[in-house]
Homo-oligomer: A and B are copies of this chain.
Amino acid sequence: MVEEALGRGLRLPGPARLVVAGRTDAGVHARGQVAHADVPGGAWEGHGRVLLRRLRGALPPDVRVTSARPAPAGFDARFSALARHYVYRVCDQPAGVDPLRRRDVLDHRRALDVDQLVAASAALVGEHDFAAFCRHRAGATTVRRILELSWARGPEGLVAGSVVADAFCHAMVRSLVGALLPVGDGRRPVDWPAGVLAARERIPAVAVVPARGLTLEAVTYPDPAELAVRAARTRQLRVHRSTAG
């Protein structure tokens, strides 16, 4: 859909093929998604300035392109990325979720203790085999590096979990949150998620929380000078991991 709109917006003969940074699961929001497309240089010169308005006119209201610009040499939206930053939002107030937020916030019927969520999350940070939190895919590694896993209660009483990692497996953030919420509401001990991680296989007791609470908020990239090096390194690592996995 974006590929067709981008092709028309830049007056290309057909759709512009996009490479996206985060292939989010269905129902997950992607406010900070990043993508690149290879287009003839002339196409940008002629149409780049009015592209956002053209895309707004062509896309349905649930998809918006917030910024578009020529990429630095060597940029690859997927393979140059250093980290993906997701936020999962939960409301534990007795009244329930503000109706205007019901499409991006999970309604949780038990009160959450943020200190317990923080304590339980510490053991998951770092490089681990997250097989216990990933849907299995033959031949693919489940080793990932979580750079940050933090929790905070916001001004409206919303509890937000921030998860930053080099990359994620399918449904991984939603499984991590599914293992942590029962600690936050007192149904599981604080070391339970660490035990799940160590088992290195999926157990039915870990719920995959609904997609609507999850938003891809940002993707971070290195300085332009290091882009091509980073992309080459990531591609190599993926091949190596896939072979090893």
Measured CB to CB, the residues of A under 8 A from B are 29, 31, 52-53, 55-56, 61-67, 93-100, 102-104, 107, 109, 215
How long is the Cα–Cα vector from A95 to B9 in the complex, in angstroms?
Answer: 13
Known: A52-B94, A56-B94. A100 touches B99 (CB 8 A): no
Which one of B61, B67, B93, B96 lies within 8 Å of A97 (CB-CB)? B61
How long is the Cα–Cα vector from A215 to B101 in the complex, in angstroms?
Answer: 14
Known: A53-B94, A56-B94, A94-B53. A63 touches B31 (CB 8 A): no
Q: Which residue of B lies closest to A157 (CB)?
A: B66
Does A97 lie within 8 Å of B53, measured CB to CB? no
- Interface residues of chain A: helix, strand, loop or mixed (majority): loop
CB distance from A24 to the nearest CB of B (A): 13
How long is the Cα–Cα vector from A96 to B58 in the complex, in angstroms?
Answer: 12
How long is the Cα–Cα vector from A55 to B109 in the complex, in angstroms?
Answer: 13
Which one of B29, B96, B100 lies within 8 Å of A104 (CB-CB)? B100
How long is the Cα–Cα vector from A31 to B97 in the complex, in angstroms?
Answer: 12
Does B29 lie within 8 Å of A100, measured CB to CB? yes
How long is the Cα–Cα vector from A96 to B67 in the complex, in angstroms?
Answer: 11
Does B99 lie within 8 Å of A52, measured CB to CB? no
**Would you mind naming 9 contact pairs between A and B with Cβ atoms under 8 Å apart?**
A53-B109, A55-B95, A56-B94, A56-B96, A61-B96, A64-B98, A65-B95, A66-B95, A100-B103
Which one of B53, B61, B95 lies within 8 Å of A99 (CB-CB)? B61
How long is the Cα–Cα vector from A95 to B109 in the complex, in angstroms?
Answer: 36
Please indicate the chain B residues that have their CB under 8 angstroms from the CB of A95 in the complex. 52, 55-56, 64-67
Which one of B64, B65, B100 lies within 8 Å of A31 (CB-CB)? B100
Please indicate the chain B residues that have their CB under 8 angstroms from the CB of A65 in the complex. 95
